[in-house]
Amino acid sequence: MHHVAAALDRLSELAASPTVSTLAAAFDAAGHELALVGGPVRDAFLGRSTNDLDFTTDATPDEILAIVKPIAEAHWDIGRQFGTIGAKIARETVEITTYRADTYDGASRKPDVVFGDTIEGDLVRRDFTVNALALRLPKLELVDPSGGVDDLLAGVLRTPSAPEVSFGDDPLRMMRAARFAAQLGFSVAEPAVAAMTELAGAIERISAERVRDELTKLLSTASPVRGIRLLVDSGIADRVLPELPALRLERDEHHRHKDVYEHSLTVLEQAIDYEVARGRLDSPDLVVRLAALLHDIGKPRTRRFEPGGAVTFHHHDAVGAKLARKRLRALRFDNDTVDAVARLIELHLRFFGYTDASWSDSAVRRYVRDAGPADQLERLHILSRADVTTRNRRKADMLSFAYDDLEQRIAELAEQEELAAVRPELDGQQIMAILGVPPGPVVGEAYRFLLDVRLDEGPIGEDAARERLLEWWAARGA
């Protein structure tokens, strides 16, 4: 049990920190119970660093406020109706919640908050036993009413109450099971998996925003695939992200093609590896991860069996981009995320077309222009590289070298000309002056013509651009 001893050492260090000791003394002086609860206690047993300091107490929200006001640099009561008060103490943000004994009415999306009077009652209604641990302050007594320490040491996620009751109370806990399985590398206890499968439909009671947040947290873990498999296998993904389980295309012996679902999970894992290794984006990058997971969702709709046993998926990039846009909007992702993911899916095949022939400078410029801003180009680099999952070493190396070459070309062209700001050499005002035309659609047409010249030939100088514009104008008039 050296794990437990080490964890208690870590917890007593945490309890001695200025924030925790200040709070503990204030609650003790006011005659109220206070305990550190959930994540920080769990993480002390796992040897992980903790970011959130969550506390629970028998004090009511008003009493909590009265205790923290004199010692806090700031406080807020945004979660007051759920019994939660936030505060900044000794430069750290904390949340303090009154013991809960809440009941869900089984139909609405919101819990009815009922305050409880014991810490044990509060802990038993939490999502998993490993999160139902508390450390009483200031006396440093571990409270573990449901065997959470044993489950932590065994690496198992169990619900403190019967899983069908727990998941029935708040169906989002089923998605939290998948997220914690990925985040902690734990397995989910068999009865909980059975309950997830049986109650999968209940996830439809949860608002799209809460589902989105949970999906985001899962995808932001270091290795989300374990959790994604659980959502797909239990049938929950059929309700929240049906395009994903739809990738499990049946195959027969005549039509051999890669399992698109397994391929997509591999692409996600490889994309995360590239994202971390290249270090050019803030990691975790949700756009990269969503695009990697969903890049082939257009395949089921576009699959055709050709004579001779070949399978084609023509235009699955465009179809997939449209499907992704629709699904991410339904999940209430913000417009920037939706646009960025859809654009990557739309462009994810572009590179493979270019490996067949050598690229012209014009093709390289278009690739950069179509990708968009620098972070989107970096994401496209990551997705294109991650999309190579062939077991054929020679083919994989060839594609990887081809992409190295492309990135080299982009860098060289960018040095020669500011590639990020590809603009024609004449602006709208100059076009109107040269052609003697007022503002109108024709100016846009001329601008696009000059932009194509710029992309195809690089900088040619203002005088040459003027000549080309007049030639175009004469031809257009004719």
Q: Where are the beta strands (DSSP E) in 297-351?
A: 304-305, 311-312
Dist CA 231 CA 15 (whole Å): 37
Residues of the chain under the 70 pLDDT cut: 1-2, 102-112, 250-258, 355-357, 417-421, 478
Omega prior to 284 cis, within 30 of 0:
yes
Question: How far lies 336's CA from each of 81, 220, 225, 230, 323, in Å?
Answer: 32, 18, 25, 29, 16
Dist CA 382 CA 405 (whole Å): 14
Amino acid (1-letter code) at residue 240: V
Dist CA 134 CA 124 (whole Å): 11
Q: Where are the beta strands (DSSP E) in 80-148?
A: 84-89, 92-98, 134-137, 141-143
User: Each residue of 409-444: pLDDT tens digit?
Assistant: 999 888 776 655 678 889 889 999 999 999 888 998
Assign residue 140 a region (left: φ > 0; alpha: ψ between -120 and 50; beta: otherwise).
left
Is the pTM for the entire model greater than 0.85?
no
Question: How far lies 45's CA from each of 128, 149, 156, 431, in Å?
Answer: 15, 8, 14, 69
Is residue 115 classed as helix, strand or coil in its secondary structure?
Answer: strand
CATH 3.30.460.10 domain span(s) along the chain: 1-154
- CATH for 249-421 is 1.10.3210
Question: Taking Cα atoms as reference points, which of 183, 140, 157 lies closest to residue 7?
Answer: 140
Is residue 76 classed as helix, strand or coil in its secondary structure?
Answer: strand
Question: How far lies 438's CA from each of 146, 428, 446, 448, 465, in Å?
Answer: 78, 10, 13, 17, 20
Amino acid (1-letter code) at residue 445: E
CA dihedral (85, 87, 89, 92) in degrees, to 10, reads 110
Question: Taking Cα atoms as reference points, which of 139, 394, 122, 140 lies closest to residue 131?
Answer: 122
- 143 beta partners: 134
CATH 1.10.110.30 domain span(s) along the chain: 155-240
- At residue 383, the pLDDT reads 98
Question: Taking Cα atoms as reference points, which of 319, 320, 303, 301 lies closest to residue 311?
Answer: 303
Dist CA 284 CA 222 (whole Å): 8
Dist CA 34 CA 98 (whole Å): 10
State the Rg of the chain over Cα: 29
Quote the tokens at residue 249.
């295309």
CATH 1.10.3210 domain span(s) along the chain: 249-421
User: Which listed CATH number (1.10.110.30, 3.40.50.12280, 1.20.120.1200, 3.40.50.300) goes with 155-240?
Assistant: 1.10.110.30
Amino acid (1-letter code) at residue 81: Q
Quote the tokens at residue 450.
């000059």
Quote the tokens at residue 154.
């065994």
- The contacts of residue 361 (CB under 8 Å, 6+ apart) are 409, 413, 458
Determine the topology of domain 1-154 in CATH: Beta Polymerase; domain 2 (3.30.460)
Owner of token pair 């994989």:
396
Q: Classify each residue of 398-408 as buried b or exposed e, where b means 16 or more C-beta atoms within 10 Å of its C-beta.
A: ebeebbeebee
Burial category of 74 from C-beta neighbours within 10 Å (exposed 0-12, middle 13-18, buried 19 and up) = exposed
